[in-house]
């Protein structure tokens, strides 16, 4: 992801935070953003870039300029697209070996187009698991102990501690919190091996790990269709404003780590 893209995306997120809203935690009737032709949902940083609180569009449907044209429609004059990336394979001319590179695409929301009818009902593109089913997909999961006063993850003993479900205000909050702690757990040395050393709350490293866990939880909630709502917005948003304004690549890097964490929880990978 180039610096220009990072600037644009970070600027939108900073604006939302300044208005008192954490974009990835906004209450939202979840439906993953997806490409109109492939039907595949966006993941990782691309899921964040196409999120309705970042784009301002309620429609989850996106397409390139050429895809819109191939469907008999067009992009409205004056509209600006959203940059995303997708890994593609390239072949080395000298050795003939293939290697992945990130190719940049510009996509437009359906609302930015004209002449394309999606019909009355959104298509079903993937089978949506329950929150419990998603947690069970994770290979090499951490130990989970219920009954603690506060939710937390201990990398020293690779254990997620959580209050019982009945202690939470809602079942959605329970799942959201558990996804957050499982996000931390993916960073264990036996998994993605992120830096999990205990850090002070106001340090850059701690903020980044917390944001990785937050985004992992957001991706998981979005995936299973859970609506989330953040309490104590002001203090929470202030902490991310400080981090984002000090490092414009902060959100991009955290989203990439969260994508790996999300895929690990889905059972699609075991190592970096």
The predicted-structure confidence for 18-46, as pLDDT tens digits, reads as follows 877 776 665 445 567 889 998 888 876 78
CA distances from 107 to 20, 84, 210 (A): 28, 7, 29
Beta carbons of 222 and 30 less than 8 angstroms apart: yes
What percent of the chain clears pLDDT 70, i.e. is strictly above it?
80
For 52-56, 106-110, 196-200, 210-214, which range has the lowest pLDDT when averaged over its residues? Answer: 196-200
Residue 90: per-residue pLDDT: 86
State the Cα angle at 252 between 246 and 256, rounded to 5°. Answer: 135
Residue 272: per-residue pLDDT: 44
For 18-27, 30-39, 60-69, 228-237, which range has the lowest pLDDT when averaged over its residues? Answer: 228-237
Average pLDDT over residues 111-121: 82
Average pLDDT over residues 88-95: 84
Q: Categorise residue 34: left if φ over 0, alpha if ψ from -120 to 50, beta otherwise.
A: beta
- Which of 31-45, 140-154, 253-267 has the highest average model confidence (pLDDT)? 140-154
> How many other C-beta atoms can be found within 10 angstroms of the C-beta atom of residue 69?
14
Reported as a pLDDT band with limits 50, 70 and 90, residue 224 is confident
Beta carbons of 216 and 185 less than 8 angstroms apart: no
Q: Which position has the higher pLDDT, 161 or 89?
A: 161
Q: Categorise residue 78: left if φ over 0, alpha if ψ from -120 to 50, beta otherwise.
A: left
- Which of 3-12, 20-29, 86-95, 235-244 has the highest average model confidence (pLDDT)? 86-95
Q: Categorise residue 157: left if φ over 0, alpha if ψ from -120 to 50, beta otherwise.
A: alpha
The three-state DSSP-derived secondary structure of 10-44 is: HHHHHHHHHCCCCHHHCCCCCCCCEECCCCCECCH
Cα separation, 213 vs 68, in Å, equals 35
Q: Which position has the higher pLDDT, 202 or 250?
A: 250
pTM across the whole model: 0.70
Residue 264: per-residue pLDDT: 95
Token pair of 261 as six digits: 């964490």
Token pair of 81 as six digits: 């697209």
Average pLDDT over residues 231-256: 74
Beta bridge partners of 100: 89
- Which of 73-77, 152-156, 211-215, 217-221 has the highest average model confidence (pLDDT)? 73-77
Q: Average per-residue pLDDT in the chain?
A: 81
Token pair of 124 as six digits: 């079903």
Beta strands in the chain (DSSP E): 34-35, 61-63, 74-75, 82-91, 98-109, 113-114, 143-146, 152-154, 159-162
Beta carbons of 140 and 125 less than 8 angstroms apart: no
Average pLDDT over residues 87-102: 83
Question: Of the candidates 189, 159, 186, 214, which has an alpha carbon nearest to the alpha carbon of residue 26?
Answer: 214
Reported as a pLDDT band with limits 50, 70 and 90, residue 230 is low
Residue 178: per-residue pLDDT: 94
> How many other C-beta atoms can be found within 10 angstroms of the C-beta atom of residue 173?
16
Reported as a pLDDT band with limits 50, 70 and 90, residue 1 is very low
CA distances from 125 to 31, 99, 102 (A): 10, 29, 24
Reported as a pLDDT band with limits 50, 70 and 90, residue 188 is very high
Beta carbons of 87 and 99 less than 8 angstroms apart: no
């Amino acid at each position: 992801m180039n610096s220009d893209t990072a600037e644009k995306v970070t600027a939108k997120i900073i604006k939302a935070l300044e208005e008192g809203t954490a974009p990835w935690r906004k209450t939202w009737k979840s439906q993953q953003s997806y490409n109109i032709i492939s039907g595949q949902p966006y993941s990782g940083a691309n899921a964040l870039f196409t999120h309705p609180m970042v784009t301002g569009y309620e429609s989850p449907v996106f397409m390139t300029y050429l895809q819109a044209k191939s469907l008999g429609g067009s992009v409205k004059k004056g509209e600006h697209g959203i940059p995303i990336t997708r890994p593609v394979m390239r072949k080395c001319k000298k050795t003939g070996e293939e290697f992945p590179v990130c190719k940049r695409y510009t996509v437009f929301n359906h609302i930015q187009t004209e002449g394309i009818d999606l019909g009355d009902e959104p298509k079903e593109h993937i089978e949506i698991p329950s929150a419990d089913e998603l947690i069970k997909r994770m290979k090499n999961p951490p130990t989970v102990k219920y009954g603690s006063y506060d939710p937390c993850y201990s990398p020293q003993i690779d254990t997620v501690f959580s209050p019982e479900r009945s202690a939470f205000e809602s079942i959605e909050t329970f799942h959201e919190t558990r996804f957050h702690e499982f996000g931390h757990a993916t960073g264990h040395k036996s998994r993605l091996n992120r830096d999990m050393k205990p850090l002070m709350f106001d340090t850059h490293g701690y903020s980044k790990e917390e944001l990785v866990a937050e985004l992992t939880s957001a991706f998981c909630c979005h995936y299973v269709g859970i609506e989330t709502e953040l309490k104590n917005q002001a203090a929470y948003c202030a902490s991310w404003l400080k981090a984002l304004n000090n490092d414009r690549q902060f959100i991009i890097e955290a989203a990439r780590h969260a994508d790996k964490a999300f895929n690990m929880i889905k059972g699609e990978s075991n190592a970096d």
